[in-house]
């Protein structure tokens, strides 16, 4: 597998996809065209999403072709030399991917060794389920099942913050609920500005911030770039 799973598209004060584009370019070295899944877009059009991504991918010389323009999206995926899934609303993304049969098609291509890039919702759907998304369920997918390219769950945009005056659950408490109900799964709290590279049977954290690890029966703990994360690949 060759996966780049990115927490967020844009760091505060930066341009869209600016911080991860160098790593994206490295993973996609030699790729001419990438198949893009824009279905996480809700408040703007799929065409607008493609233009936004293409503007950044122009910097690495890659053409973006979207499944929403294809007569047969699964066939497009099966012929892809690389796949990219953008962020937005994870439930909207999952519903459309399931409706079109893209989950299975993408997993097949990932197992064949082609590169996969996903950010935010696009990293959520690489996991076994979408149950650790932060998003509101604005639509109902067939199930919570996702691509299942990795065996662990990701919580993108992970935050430690508990704002003053806020009496609700923190992100850590919500993830604690998930691991209580799903004791076999690890959850990686992936902070903004960070990404996970899965390649050559290895997994690597890239970024300046630590990642928080959750599993039932283990106190949450931090890992840093350079640490051994092989336990996540199981």
pLDDT tens digit sequence for 35-63: 999 999 999 999 999 999 999 999 999 99
Q: Are 220 and 137 in contact (CB under 8 A)?
A: no
Contacts of 47 (CB under 8 A, 6+ apart): none
**CATH number of the structural domain spanning residue 75:** 3.40.50.880
| Weakly modelled stretches of the chain, pLDDT under 70 | 162-163, 166-168
95 vs 118: CA distance, rounded Å: 17
Residue 118 pairs in a beta bridge with 5, 85
Q: Which domain holds residue 170?
A: 2-232
Total domains in the fold of the chain: 1
| Separation of first and last alpha carbons in the chain | 14
Instruction: Give the per-residue SS3 of 34-98.
Output: EEEECCCCCCCCHHHHHHHHHHHHHHHCCEEEEHHHCCCHHHHHHCCCCEEECCCCHHHHHHHHH
Q: Are 116 and 149 in contact (CB under 8 A)?
A: yes
Given the residues 7, 66, 120, 123, the one annotated as active site: 120
Contacts of 167 (CB under 8 A, 6+ apart): none
160 is annotated as an active-site residue: no
68 is annotated as an active-site residue: no
Given the residues 157, 166, 228, 230, the one annotated as active site: 157
Q: Which pLDDT score, from 0 to 100, does residue 169 have?
A: 80
Q: Which pLDDT score, from 0 to 100, does residue 25 have?
A: 97
Q: Which residue has 């935010």 as its token pair?
A: 120
Q: Which pLDDT score, from 0 to 100, does residue 212 have?
A: 98
Given the residues 135, 143, 160, 230, the one annotated as active site: 135
166 is annotated as an active-site residue: no
| Angle between helix 90-99 and 102-111 (nearest 10) | 90
Q: Are 130 and 148 in contact (CB under 8 A)?
A: no
Q: Which pLDDT score, from 0 to 100, does residue 234 have?
A: 84
Q: What is the pTM of this model?
A: 0.95
CA–chain centroid gap for 19, Å, is 15
Q: pLDDT per residue over 159-199, tens digit each?
A: 987 667 766 688 999 999 999 999 999 999 999 999 999 99
Q: Which of 12, 6, 7 shows the shortest CA–CA distance to 27?
A: 6
């Amino acid at each position: 597998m060759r996966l780049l799973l990115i927490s967020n598209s844009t760091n505060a004060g930066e341009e869209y996809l600016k911080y991860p584009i160098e790593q994206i370019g490295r993973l996609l070295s030699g790729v001419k065209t990438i198949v893009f899944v824009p279905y996480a877009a809700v408040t703007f059009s799929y065409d607008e999403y493609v233009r936004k991504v293409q503007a950044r991918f122009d910097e690495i010389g890659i053409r973006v072709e979207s499944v929403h323009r294809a007569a047969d999206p699964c066939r497009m995926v099966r012929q892809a030399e690389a796949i990219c899934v953008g962020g937005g609303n994870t439930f909207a993304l999952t519903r459309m991917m399931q409706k079109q049969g893209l989950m299975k098609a993408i997993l097949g291509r990932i197992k064949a060794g082609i590169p996969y890039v996903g950010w935010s919702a696009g990293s959520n759907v690489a996991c076994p389920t979408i149950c650790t998304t932060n998003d509101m369920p604005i639509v109902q997918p067939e199930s919570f099942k996702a691509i299942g390219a990795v065996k662990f769950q990701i919580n993108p945009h992970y935050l430690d913050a508990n704002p003053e005056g806020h009496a609700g659950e923190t992100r850590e408490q919500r993830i604690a609920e998930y691991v209580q109900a799903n004791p076999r799964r690890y959850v990686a709290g992936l902070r903004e500005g960070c990404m996970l590279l899965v390649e050559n049977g290895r997994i690597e954290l890239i970024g300046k911030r630590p990642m928080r690890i959750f599993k039932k029966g283990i106190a949450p703990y931090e890992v840093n770039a350079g640490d051994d994360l092989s336990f996540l690949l199981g």
